Amino acid sequence: MAANREPSFRDSVDMMFNRAVAVMDLSPGLEEKIRVCNSTYTVRFGVRLRGGIRTFTGYRSVHSEHMEPVKGGIRYALSVNQDEVEALAALMTYKCALVETPFGGSKGGLRIDPREWDEHELELITRRFAYELIKRDLISPAQNVPAPDMGTGEREMAWIVDQYQRMNTTDINGAACVTGKPTNAGGIAGRVEATGRGIQYALREFFRHPHDAARAGLAGSLDGKRVIVQGLGNVGYHAAEFVTTEDGARVIAIIERDGGLHNPNGMNIQAVRDWLVAHGGVEGCPEGTFVKDGAALLEEECDILIPAAHEGVINLDNADRIKAPLIIEAANGPVTAGADEILRRKGTIIIPDLYANAGGVTVSYFEWVKNLSHIRFGRMERRQEEARHQLLIDELERLSADKGLGWTLSPGFKQQYLRGAGELELVRSGLDDTMRGAYQSISQMWNGRQDVTDLRMAAYIVAIDRVAKSYRSKGL
């Protein structure tokens, strides 16, 4: 790692922010107001475990409250620290503005290796952490709504919502205090896959802009593209699975904690994922050749590199050797500010994190709305929509019979057309629309201004401009 030569994650985000505001027309006061992190709460709490009291350290950082509630995941990892949660909270502010979800930015973290604790212990730890945050309104449907991130998932969110509801028995909107819950505990269909699905939609939209793809020296669609993925967790697995099984891309390398797998013919993602879940690593998986130094695979020839593990993996040490012409930042902050500059000079196109992985918060928004409205999406309209479609089909068939035209509608078409959209279809449709719209706004900014040199700068400008407008409308 180039740790000592690199700025911190927080500084890296600020440097990216500074590049954008340098070409914007904001007053210095407003610029500073948007950049700074409003507050970071640190909590140290004890839990009685394994015959003694263990102390844990957790954080909840609120970057911007220009809209409330503020939103952002909770991460469980030993590397969690104040600088990291503040950087991630800042990214949440810009991300929410970019995809037009009505939230400010926040993030939380607990310094813990979840693999060291069993399920019951993790529940005790999570409930205690949640208790500390709930009593300070740092988890609340109206003020601060967490979600899963690295090391957490539906299970932790279910514990958190239950803890909130025990402490707020009369809050009818209690289920909206956290998103990413299991569907039987107030969650929404399509949330688990959402961030990976968003990566797929982002890539599809990128290739729908041939001029943008040409700037990376690429053409066509995702079909046949060679992909390298780092991190086969929630985000990486879903992204890789969707682009291979639905778009014809080929994943030629997968990098995990214990090393990487390489196979130029492409791998079956589900098989690798099953192996990873069963064995805790990818070593020995027959889908590809095992490479102990997994990070070296980041430097292999490919069309698209998807870093989906954690921040800082493309840095001053390896940026020069990255060959991928297109990087899509599925993780938050995988490219450091220093590496970003090197890659820009080389002409590498980077689809930035604040756009690329916004699928998670987008579907979290849908879940929050669902919780507040207390009704599943599609419940009122679905059968009515089907009945109207049936009317049209009946009329077409009657006309065909009356006029002797001999038209027959294929059974496949009829079945598809007659099926009203359920929650999952509606969620995917809303996510696709969001990812397309956001990409169009940043692509327009990128191509429309000489001084906007890259997609990241464009995304920051669009996002910061929206946050600035929101502050201005409040009279700041």
Catalytic machinery residues: 107
What is the chain's Cα-based Rg?
Answer: 23
Point out which span in 126-134, 233-241, 264-272, 435-443 binds ligand NAD (CB under 6 A). Answer: 233-241
Point out which span in 8-16, 138-146, 304-312, 446-454 binds ligand NAD (CB under 6 A). Answer: 304-312
Q: State the minimum distance, in angstroms, from the CB of residue 183 to ligand NAD.
A: 16
Residues touching ligand NAD, count (CB under 6 A): 24
CA distance 7 to 15: 9
CA distance 434 to 439: 8
Q: State the minimum distance, in angstroms, from the CB of residue 269 to ligand NAD.
A: 13
Is position 253 an interface residue for ligand NAD (rule: CB under 6 A)?
no
Among 101, 357, 371, 443, binds ligand NAD (CB under 6 A): 357
Q: Which residues contact 192 (CB under 8 A, 6 or more apart)?
A: 153, 154, 180, 234, 238
Contact 2, 317 (CB under 8 A): yes
Q: State the minimum distance, in angstroms, from the CB of residue 98 to ligand NAD.
A: 13
Nearer to ligand NAD, 294 or 325 (CB): 294
The DSSP element (H or E) to which 364 belongs, if any, is helix 359-373
CA distance 224 to 459: 28
Q: State the minimum distance, in angstroms, from the CB of residue 402 to ligand NAD.
A: 54
Point out which span in 17-25, 167-175, 234-242, 442-450 binds ligand NAD (CB under 6 A). Answer: 234-242
Q: For residue 211, which of 447, 416, 472 has the smallest C-alpha distance?
A: 447
Strands 144-145 and 226-230, by their bridges, are: unpaired
Is position 261 an interface residue for ligand NAD (rule: CB under 6 A)?
no
Site for ligand NAD in 121-160 (CB under 6 A): 148-151
Is position 308 an interface residue for ligand NAD (rule: CB under 6 A)?
yes
Nearer to ligand NAD, 231 or 338 (CB): 231
Nearer to ligand NAD, 69 or 114 (CB): 114
Nearer to ligand NAD, 26 or 190 (CB): 190
- What are the two backbone dihedrals, phi and then psi, of residue 170, each rounded to the nearest 5 degrees? -105, 5
Using CB under 6 A as the criterion, what x/- string covers residues 269-298 for binding ligand NAD?
Answer: -------------------------x----
- What are the two backbone dihedrals, phi and then psi, of residue 6, each rounded to the nearest 5 degrees? -90, 145
Is position 81 an interface residue for ligand NAD (rule: CB under 6 A)?
no
Is position 200 an interface residue for ligand NAD (rule: CB under 6 A)?
no
Point out which span in 5-13, 156-164, 296-304, 330-338 binds ligand NAD (CB under 6 A). Answer: 330-338
Nearer to ligand NAD, 105 or 233 (CB): 233
- Helix axis angle, 194-207 to 234-245, nearest 10°: 50
Site for ligand NAD in 358-397 (CB under 6 A): 360
3-state secondary structure of 82: helix
Please give the residue whose beta carbon sits closest to ligand NAD in the complex: 233
Nearer to ligand NAD, 256 or 423 (CB): 256
Is position 91 an interface residue for ligand NAD (rule: CB under 6 A)?
no
Residue ranges of E strands in 65-187: 70-71, 74-77, 104-111, 144-145
Is position 312 an interface residue for ligand NAD (rule: CB under 6 A)?
no
Is position 233 an interface residue for ligand NAD (rule: CB under 6 A)?
yes
Among 310, 370, 382, 428, binds ligand NAD (CB under 6 A): 310
Q: Which residues contact 94 (CB under 8 A, 6 or more apart)?
A: 17, 105, 354, 459, 460, 463, 464, 467
Q: For residue 202, which of 436, 441, 462 has the smallest C-alpha distance?
A: 436
Contact 318, 299 (CB under 8 A): yes
Alpha helices in 3-118, H assignment, sequence order: 9-21, 28-35, 82-98
CA distance 247 to 223: 6
The strand pairing partners of 169, in sequence order, are none
Point out which span in 78-86, 164-172, 228-236, 318-326 binds ligand NAD (CB under 6 A). Answer: 228-236
Nearer to ligand NAD, 148 or 174 (CB): 148
The strand pairing partners of 58, in sequence order, are 43, 110
Among 193, 256, 340, 423, binds ligand NAD (CB under 6 A): 256
Is position 101 an interface residue for ligand NAD (rule: CB under 6 A)?
no
Is position 255 an interface residue for ligand NAD (rule: CB under 6 A)?
yes
Among 105, 108, 231, 378, binds ligand NAD (CB under 6 A): 231
Contact 445, 458 (CB under 8 A): yes
Contact 227, 243 (CB under 8 A): yes
Is position 234 an interface residue for ligand NAD (rule: CB under 6 A)?
yes
Nearer to ligand NAD, 357 or 441 (CB): 357
Strands 104-111 and 52-64, by their bridges, are: antiparallel
Binding site for ligand NAD (CB under 6 A): 148-151, 195, 230-236, 255-257, 294, 308-310, 330-332, 357, 360
